[in-house]
Amino acid sequence: MALYTDGLALFGYQSSTDGGDPRSEFQRALTALGVSHLVAPSPQAKGKIERRFGTFQKRLLALLAFERIDDYGRAQNLLDHELEQQNRTVCRTTGLCPDDAWAKAIADRRDAMRPSPNPSLLDLHFALHFSRRLNADHQVDFLGRSWPIGATQRHTVAIIHHPGRQFWVVTTPPKPPENRWSDVLGKFSL
């Protein structure tokens, strides 16, 4: 239902509950998925977030270097181990580890979990969105080259990009509250 972050520009500097336009790709994706973005209003409020992020940033880099890990598979195994360890670490304030706090929230019916959207919608929202002007020959310029797409009367199109993997060219970007795929004019693997 909501995600709580600090005020880094990466996340967007304002809460999405203020009725304004999303301030970043991060907020655009959260808004499309119906998740509110709450920004910590003070240094005291963001203290626990900062400590956890700091732990991961400093510890993971040191562990990756110490273990001489240089591939994604081994890095993912290390990250999974560290996440398990963090989720078993007891919080001084609550006296509970995150796993136990989550189990207690479920038992007390204080959770607000929803089913995950259709995976194709996740592809739509967990991507970078760009607007591009069409060439007269029904091609769109992207990533340093021209790509042929299906015919359309539109002068601009939206690109839904998964860096390093693939992208789609669609007639219009998704718009709340439906946030659905529009007509796909082209899909390309990278």
pLDDT tens digit sequence for 100-125:
999 999 999 998 888 887 887 888 88
Q: What stretch of H or E contains 38?
A: strand 36-39
Q: Which residue has the tokens 């900062």?
A: 50
Are 24 and 55 in the same domain? no
How far from 163 is each of 56, 70, 114, 179, CA to CA, in Å?
Answer: 24, 21, 28, 21
Segment holding 30, helix H or strand E? helix 25-32
The count of structural domains within the chain is: 3
Distance CA 35, CA 54 (A): 25
Residue 153 in 3-state DSSP?
A: coil
* pLDDT above 60 for 131: yes
Ramachandran angles phi, psi of 119, nearest 5°: -55, -30
Q: If pLDDT is split at 50, 70 and 90, which confidence band does 9 have?
A: low
Same domain, 75 and 128: no
Q: At what angle do helices 72-87 and 47-66 cross, to 10 degrees?
A: 140
Q: Is 172 in the same domain as 127?
A: yes
Angstrom CA distances, 137 to 23, 80, 155, stand at 34, 48, 11
Q: Is residue 112 included in any domain, yes or no?
A: no
- Are residues 15 and 54 both part of a single domain? no
Q: Is residue 177 part of a domain?
A: yes
pLDDT above 90 (res 156)? yes
Selected residue with higher pLDDT from 51 and 74: 74
Residues 60 and 86 in one domain: yes
Together in a domain, 134 and 185: yes
Instruction: Find out whether the peptide bond into 177 is cis, omega within 30 degrees of 0.
Output: yes
Neighbours of 156 (CB within 10 A): 13
Q: Which two tokens stand for residue 154?
A: 């539109």
Q: Is residue 114 part of a domain?
A: no
Rg of the Cα atoms in the chain: 21
Residue 54 lies in a domain: yes
pTM reported for the whole predicted model:
0.63
Q: Please report whether residue 157 resides in a domain.
A: yes
pLDDT at residue 96, rounded to an integer: 94
Question: Same structural domain for residues 33 and 56?
Answer: no
Claim to verify: residue 163 and residue 136 sit in the same structural domain: yes
On whether both 125 and 165 belong to a single domain, the answer is yes
* Residue 128 shares a structural domain with residue 89: no
Domain extent for 17: 2-39
Residue 113, domain member (yes or no): no
Top-confidence residue, 17 or 168: 168
Res 129 pLDDT > 80: yes
Is 60 exceeded by the pLDDT of residue 20? no
What was the pLDDT predicted at 18? 45
- Whether 141 and 164 share a structural domain: yes
Beta-carbon count within 10 A of 59 CB: 13
Q: Say yes or no: 23 and 74 in one domain.
A: no
The vertex-70 CA angle with 83 and 49, nearest 5°, equals 30
Assigned token pair, 6? 């600090």
pLDDT at 189: 95
